[in-house]
Amino acid sequence: MYHALVKPLLFKLDAEKAHQLVFDNLKRAHKLPGARALLRGLYDLRHPNLEREVLGLPFRNPVGLAAGFDKNAELTDELGALGFGFVEIGTVTPRPQPGNPTPRLFRLPADGALINRMGFNNDGAEAVAARLRHRRDRGLIVGGNIGKNKDTPNAQAAHDYVACIEALHEVVDYFVVNVSSPNTPNLRALQEREPLIELLQQVQERNQTLPTPRPLLLKIAPDLTDAQLDDILLIARETNLSGLVATNSTIARTGLTTPTAHVAALGAGGLSGRPLRQRATEVIRYLSRHSRGQLPIIGVGGIHSAADAREKLEAGASLLQLYSGFIYEGPGLVRQINKALITADKR
């Protein structure tokens, strides 16, 4: 039904308007008697073979929703009913901010891709924390993806990340430090060795002083060189990170089917979806091999099928996240992946 009816209608709308329409309808549907049970019956697959313990946390399945979809933690219960084993909310900043001017989200259907330059639009850490306190599905693992406000200088970035840790630590299960989005000016400069060590040390120091420290992960760009990935692994050890999220969207535009002029006219932003699949897998494999499989990796980038999911796991990912694939393939993709994983584990 998604491919035959829902997707064609949504793809006639502006991408961000379609996103909001989906949000509104999921909220409405969830309030109807029996709707949650119906959604779980259609999409939520439970099986002992799907359960994973990663980061010291019990995941009911390894398929999660990447940050960027539910920025403000508005739909965690609804998304849990669609079969996700975990949901990463955000990116959240300390203060609310509107993000970049619209339009800022674009589809490339010929490539199964998206370009976004959202710019960390969100309601702010306090509002998001208040919303999460009222969620019902406590079995769903929720991660908090955190960033800095656009007007915060890089030299003061640690203050913003620490503020998010303080506001959200009671309502999320793990944190992801996002310094790899291409849509906040100069943010990616924080991926360089010295500023990144300084940032993570300050964030980790505050995290460890909390009554219940949370697993702390770092989300990295797919555009890093092997030498930079080596630095990331050294930094991960030095700052006692719990894991990595690989990868964010890319600033590259190579190998696309969509005409170059059309892509250029859309402007700047991070590219996600099928074109990112191979590079994301390469990064995961490199990180897994060079850490000897000792550092948990959440694999994200171009997962549009069960085969894509298996590729990421075989490359060394412990968990998976969907974003563009969820938009292009619909909620049935979550069940499709989980069903294939059950079948594979039975062999």
Residues with catalytic function: 181
Q: Which residue has the tokens 């970049």?
A: 100
Give the pairing of strands 86-92 and 319-322: unpaired
Which tokens is 325 given?
Answer: 């694939």
**Tokens linked to 67:** 């940050």
Whole-angstrom CA distances from 326 to 3, 198, 259, 332 are: 12, 35, 24, 8
Secondary structure tally for the chain: helices H, strands E: 13, 13
Instruction: Check if the beta carbon of residue 284 is closer than 8 Å to that of residue 316.
Output: yes
AA identity, residue 153: P
Contact 320, 303 (CB under 8 A): yes
Return the ∠ at Cα 191 (arms to 95 and 194), rounded to 5°: 105
Give phi and psi for 228, each to the nearest 5: -70, -35
Q: H-helix or E-strand containing 17?
A: helix 15-31
CA separation for the pair 254, 113 (Å, rounded): 12
Preceding peptide of 103 cis, ω within 30°: yes
Beta bridge partners of 245: 219, 298
Helix ranges restricted to H, 82-221: 125-132, 157-168, 193-209
CB of 336 closer than 8 Å to CB of 315 = no
- Is-contact 91 69, C-beta < 8 A? no
CB 273 within 8 Å of CB 114: yes
